[in-house]
Amino acid sequence: MSSSAPIGVFDSGLGGISVARQIAKDMPAEHVLYFGDSANAPYGIKTPEQVRALSFDIVERFVRQGVKAVVIACNTATSAAVNDLREHYDIPIIGMEPALKVACERGDVPSDPHHIPQRVIVAATPLTLRERKFAKLMDRFDSNNTIFKEPCPDLVEIVESGRLGDHDLVMRTLHGYFDQYDMEHIDSVVLGCTHFVFYRDYFRELLPERAAVIDGNEGTVRHLGVVLESLGKLAPEDATGGVELANSDPSERIAELSRKLLNV
């Protein structure tokens, strides 16, 4: 596979466009083929077996298109399928997981040998929070920190139905999930679903200024860069990259929404 081959990026729907946008910003020479599976969204309330089968179909399509790497721009599909996909394909497969490490490391102050325990809410899909992969991640951090798991499936639906701009609806939905927490004593919220990255400003309205809203997009794209560089597969610097959008839902509504989310 040549270094100028495209990178396949997929999600259950429109959430992974937040990752494609980050790739376009940080690695502008790369050519991205984005595939959103909106016809089958949401993945977060399906079984791992269903999500695995859908993920294999998408990666198979990318392989036929000659991609040099795949980014699973979906925490849910990563939990369900990344290991099997890596076993089956010999191109690099980059997954995503909630950026809990970044959230907990905010408690490590270089001038102080003691870790300051963090109170962190992880907002993700029910499947991500239920899977073994997340349990293993929690095990690494929950003895030193307090971690709350909050499944927020309605936030996926709001993006997919194009209602992200409906301030009242979004704030009502967020209050429904988060009013149970004393936000004054929360140090950070981890956006453990790529759809939720589009809600960053809304989360800011809920949280005190000192609290952080953390997502894994930048870290994932950095990791993609390191992997491609180590294989000598970064696109030539003078190449003109870009993002080509495709979706299993062929409607003009989804195409227009996708373009809009790519450009926000």
Q: Which positions lie near ligand DGL, rule CB under 6 A?
A: 11-13, 15, 41-44, 74-76, 125, 128, 156, 193-195
CB of 38 to ligand DGL, least distance (A): 9
User: In this structure, what token pair is assigned to residue 90?
Assistant: 């010999």
| CA angle (99 as vertex; 94, 105 as ends), nearest 5 | 130
Pick between residue 19 and residue 104 the one whose CB is nearest to ligand DGL. 19
CB of 164 to ligand DGL, least distance (A): 14
Residues recorded for the chain: 264
User: Can you tell me whether residue 64 is helix, strand or coil?
Assistant: helix
Pick between residue 120 and residue 190 the one whose CB is nearest to ligand DGL. 190
Cα-flanking dihedrals φ and ψ of residue 97, to 5°? -140, 155
Pick between residue 128 and residue 248 the one whose CB is nearest to ligand DGL. 128
Residue 154's nearest CA partner among 124, 184, 191, 183 is 124
Pick between residue 3 and residue 48 the one whose CB is nearest to ligand DGL. 48
* 193 a catalytic residue: yes
Of the residues 69, 70, 74, 186, only one is catalytic, namely 74
* 104 a catalytic residue: no
Ramachandran class of 199: left when φ > 0, alpha when ψ lies in -120 to 50, beta otherwise = alpha
CB of 48 to ligand DGL, least distance (A): 13
User: In this structure, what token pair is assigned to residue 50?
Assistant: 């269903």
CB of 184 to ligand DGL, least distance (A): 28
Of the residues 121, 193, 206, 235, only one is catalytic, namely 193
User: In this structure, what token pair is assigned to residue 121?
Assistant: 């809410």
State the catalytic residues. 74, 193
